[in-house]
């Protein structure tokens, strides 16, 4: 482990200093070579600055580790009391780290002290950001659990039993002709009665299929699945709306309560403050926290590397290899490069779409680079194969933004994959350019970082209808719509 690799040279130096200067240091007890926290760092080898530096570094490592432990993901077992306690513990660790940094600052290892100080400041700032967001996130997580319980209980104890009872009644009416003990031939059943039964059956089926998506909208924490669930719900809601319209117009008044109950369940996924809005808000906050948690872990690794460097410098040993530390004011932009990322399908049945998009971007970048680039910077592209699967689209986009640190995303292919990528794009606040989709989800007024190149499905359909009207070809023209993740789909027949 990294800690053992660090502790060993430090203990060697401290032991050597004790024997050399005879300072009579006392250690009450150690764990894996670390001095007891009951002994102040600045009392250990006061006459030897190297010992002071290494003791302070050990203490910094210990306090930083506890700060990292306080910066894990939020979970619903947390309470207001535990959040307050954690906030107090973070403040204590910050104060302890500040005291040890002051000791290092007084010793002649300026470069290492500066690097360690910067990392500690970043670590503490990210830990505080995680802590500041916990209360709101915890409230949203608990609200989601409450919504899931409501959907589950309401469908199981109220709406579904009522629908099944009415279905049985309608079926009985069909086979008996409405007479106890009677029977009816199929060709003698009024068409309206038959259609009423079919639409009620379809409505109940739509509810059965939509209920799991509403449960997922309440508690799902995987952005890669969110788009699929939402699209499935939209399809069921669109089908249910047609059945409800028919039943309200031609149905029996006795069906009104059942229809209203089912309509109420579908309304949970539509309108203002619906479950899907809650899902995307929750995913946004979870993604923000996950990014911060990952940053904390990365900063801890950087800190351990710097402490290794300090130990090696004190002993006059070669510097250990460390993680590259890239610090840029704008991610993906250096003096010589502007780096873009792309998540697209490069293999499988739809590979031609992704490969074509990738080649087109590379050709445009090559042309721009041959002309001198953008203010002297060369455009580069890193592409992640998402297989036209939402899970890979989310994972690849998150990696390109969070790990590869691209300036922006370009040339996404497909609507479901674009939807899966959006949470990471919005949290990272990076440009999202030229997605190969006409979906409305990329055309909100508040999306200042999205640049669309192609027309929307709405615009395309409107243009086709206008053209046909101008040509006088309106006879037999039917406009079909289906609600889904792609749009309110439009097609002409």
Residues 368, 390, single domain; the answer is yes
User: Does residue 54 fall inside a structural domain?
Assistant: yes
Residues 91, 51, single domain; the answer is yes
> In this predicted model, what pLDDT tens digit does every residue of 245-294 receive, in sequence order?
998 888 778 888 889 999 999 999 988 789 988 988 888 888 888 888 98
pLDDT bin (cut points 50, 70, 90) of residue 45 is: very low
What element of type H or E holds 12? Answer: helix 2-21
The pLDDT score that the predictor gives to residue 480 is: 52
Residues 106, 151, single domain; the answer is no
Mean pLDDT to the nearest integer, 358-386? 94
Residues 448, 464, single domain; the answer is no
Residues 134, 18, single domain; the answer is yes
CATH number of the domain residue 415 falls in: 3.40.50.2300
Residues 366, 248, single domain; the answer is no
pTM of the model: 0.62
> In this predicted model, what pLDDT tens digit does every residue of 284-296 receive, in sequence order?
888 888 888 988 9
Residues 370, 413, single domain; the answer is yes
3-state helix, strand, coil in the chain (%, to 5): 65, 10, 25
* Structural domains of the chain, count: 4
pLDDT bin (cut points 50, 70, 90) of residue 46 is: low
The pLDDT score that the predictor gives to residue 44 is: 42
Query: What does the alpha-carbon distance between residue 26 and residue 215 come to, in Å, rounded to a whole number?
Result: 61
The pLDDT score that the predictor gives to residue 383 is: 95
The pLDDT score that the predictor gives to residue 477 is: 57
pLDDT bin (cut points 50, 70, 90) of residue 71 is: very high
Mean pLDDT to the nearest integer, 24-52? 47
Strand locations in 18-93 (E):
30-31, 34-35
Residues 207, 254, single domain; the answer is yes
> In this predicted model, what pLDDT tens digit does every residue of 168-205 receive, in sequence order?
888 877 767 655 554 555 556 677 878 888 888 899 99
User: Does residue 322 fall inside a structural domain?
Assistant: no
Residues 221, 102, single domain; the answer is no
User: Does residue 62 fall inside a structural domain?
Assistant: yes
> In this predicted model, what pLDDT tens digit does every residue of 291-315 receive, in sequence order?
889 889 989 999 999 998 888 888 7
The pLDDT score that the predictor gives to residue 317 is: 75
Residue closest to 342 by CA, chosen among 403, 413, 409: 409
pLDDT bin (cut points 50, 70, 90) of residue 40 is: very low
User: Does residue 448 fall inside a structural domain?
Assistant: yes
The pLDDT score that the predictor gives to residue 389 is: 86
Is 139's pLDDT higher than 90? yes
Residues 450, 466, single domain; the answer is no
Is 361's pLDDT higher than 90? yes
User: Does residue 321 fall inside a structural domain?
Assistant: no
Residues 193, 79, single domain; the answer is no
- Per DSSP bridges, beta strands 378-385 and 337-344 are parallel
User: Does residue 329 fall inside a structural domain?
Assistant: no
CATH number of the domain residue 77 falls in: 1.20.1420
> In this predicted model, what pLDDT tens digit does every residue of 1-20 receive, in sequence order?
333 344 444 443 443 343 33
User: Does residue 248 fall inside a structural domain?
Assistant: yes
Residues 299, 286, single domain; the answer is yes
Residue 275 in contact with residue 214, Cβ under 8 Å? yes
Q: Which domain holds residue 232?
A: 146-274
User: Does residue 444 fall inside a structural domain?
Assistant: yes
Torsion sign, CA atoms 467, 468, 472, 478 = negative
């Amino acid at each position: 482990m990294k800690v053992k690799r660090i502790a060993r040279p430090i203990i060697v130096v401290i032991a050597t200093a004790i024997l050399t200067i005879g300072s009579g240091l006392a250690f009450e007890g150690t764990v894996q070579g670390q001095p007891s926290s009951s002994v102040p760092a600045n009392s250990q080898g006061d006459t030897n600055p190297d010992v002071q530096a290494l003791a302070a570094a050990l203490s910094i490592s210990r306090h930083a580790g506890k700060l990292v432990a306080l910066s894990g993901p939020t979970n619903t077992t947390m309470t207001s009391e535990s959040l307050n306690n954690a906030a107090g513990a973070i403040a204590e660790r910050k104060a302890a780290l500040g005291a040890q940094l002051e000791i290092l600052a007084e010793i002649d290892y300026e470069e290492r002290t500066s690097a360690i100080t910067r990392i500690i400041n970043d670590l503490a700032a990210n830990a505080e950001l995680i802590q500041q967001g916990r209360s709101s996130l915890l409230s949203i997580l608990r609200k989601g659990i409450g919504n899931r319980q409501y959907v589950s209980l309401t469908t199981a104890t109220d709406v579904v039993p009522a629908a099944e009872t009415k279905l049985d009644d309608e079926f009985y009416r069909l086979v008996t002709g409405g007479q106890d003990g009677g029977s009816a031939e199929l060709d003698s059943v009024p068409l309206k009665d038959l259609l009423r039964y079919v639409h009620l059956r379809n409505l109940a089926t739509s509810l059965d299929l939509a209920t799991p998506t509403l449960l997922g909208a309440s508690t799902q924490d995987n952005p890669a699945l969110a788009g699929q669930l939402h699209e499935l719900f939209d399809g069921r809601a669109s089908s249910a709306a047609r059945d409800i319209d028919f039943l309200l117009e031609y149905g029996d008044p006795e069906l009104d309560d059942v229809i209203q109950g089912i309509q109420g369940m579908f309304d949970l996924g539509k309108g203002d403050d619906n479950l899907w809005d809650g899902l995307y808000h929750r995913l946004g906050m979870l993604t923000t926290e996950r990014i911060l948690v990952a940053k904390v872990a990365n900063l801890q690794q950087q800190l351990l590397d710097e402490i290794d460097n300090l130990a090696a410098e004190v002993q006059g040993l070669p510097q250990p290899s460390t993680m590259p530390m890239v610090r840029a004011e704008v991610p993906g932009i250096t003096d010589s490069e502007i780096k873009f990322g792309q998540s697209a399908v490069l293999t499988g049945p739809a590979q031609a779409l992704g490969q074509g998009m990738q080649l087109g971007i590379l050709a445009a970048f090559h042309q721009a680079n041959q002309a001198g680039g953008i203010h002297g910077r060369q455009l580069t592209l890193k592409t992640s194969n998402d297989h036209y699967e939402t899970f890979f689209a989310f994972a690849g986009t998150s990696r390109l933004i969070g790990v590869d640190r691209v300036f922006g995303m370009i040339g996404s292919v497909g609507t479901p994959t674009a939807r899966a990528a959006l949470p990471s794009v919005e949290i990272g606040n990076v440009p999202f350019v030229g997605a190969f989709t006409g979906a409305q989800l990329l055309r909100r007024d508040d999306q200042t970082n999205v640049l669309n190149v192609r027309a929307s499905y709405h615009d395309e359909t409107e243009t086709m209808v206008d053209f046909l009207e101008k040509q006088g070809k309106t006879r037999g023209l039917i406009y079909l719509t289906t609600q889904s993740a792609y749009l309110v789909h439009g097609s002409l027949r």
